[in-house]
Amino acid sequence: MPNTHFPPKGFSPLPYQEAVNAALVCTKCGLHATRNKVVFSDGPVPCDILCIGEAPGADEDAQGIPFVGRAGKLLTQMLLSIGLKRPDDVYICNTLKCRPPGNRTPEPKEILVCLPFLVSQVDAVRPKIIVLLGSPAMKTILNPSEGITRIRGQWYNLNVSYQTQPVRVMTIFHPSYLLRNPSSKEGSPKWLTWQDLKAIRKELETLR
């Protein structure tokens, strides 16, 4: 069963600006030594919809803004296709705020040590919907026993300890995975993601 509560025991949110300031000078994991810029977020606080990706890539590390490279441009188009315009309509961040060298997959211990920032972001943004982009974000929040191909497209309720209503959570494929799998024929990752995006739009309309 995926997690139904967030944050994990022992984590409590810092005030938002305090979290931003702490992240900008953070040296809690080894990634601080190779980053150019800390990549905290893009979008307003609070916001109905929160997208969480994996970690910054080269373009994000250079600019200090999440999802600005090729995958970011695709994400921007995907959001626009359901009427969500960056940066006003959606808050975007990553599980890690610094780029892993060579874009390697984040290590569990890096995700754990960076988690207090994400906890503060979820607290401040107070989303109605969280969209998890790819497997590392899915594991960080839901930690399901199944893989992403089983979990994507499913709605889960997450009880966030500092919110009264459960947050609706859906995992979708990461845009960089979609760039590697460009077919849009029925049943393809792209086609499945379009179904997921339409479901997110519908849910957002229901919740507003």
- Residues of this chain that interact with ligand SF4 (CB under 6 A) are 23, 26-29, 31-32, 38, 96-98, 110, 113-114
Matching residue, tokens 């997921």: 196
Taking residue 147's Cβ as centre, other Cβ atoms within 10 Å add up to 11
* 35 versus 86: smaller Cβ distance to ligand SF4: 35
* 10 versus 187: smaller Cβ distance to ligand SF4: 10
Strands 155-160 and 167-172: antiparallel
Determine the Cα angle at 95 with ends 158 and 25, to 5°: 130
Q: Can you name the residues that pair with 130 across neighbouring β-strands? A: 50, 169
* 2 versus 53: smaller Cβ distance to ligand SF4: 53
Least distance from ligand SF4 to the Cβ atom of residue 197, Å: 29
* 97 versus 190: smaller Cβ distance to ligand SF4: 97
Q: How far apart are CA 30 and CA 92, in angstroms?
A: 23
Least distance from ligand SF4 to the Cβ atom of residue 118, Å: 9
* 107 versus 203: smaller Cβ distance to ligand SF4: 107
Least distance from ligand SF4 to the Cβ atom of residue 23, Å: 5
Least distance from ligand SF4 to the Cβ atom of residue 94, Å: 9
Least distance from ligand SF4 to the Cβ atom of residue 75, Å: 20
Quick one: how far is CA 113 from the chain centroid? 16
Pull the structure tokens for residue 125: 């943004």
Q: How far apart are CA 120 and CA 175, in angstroms?
A: 25
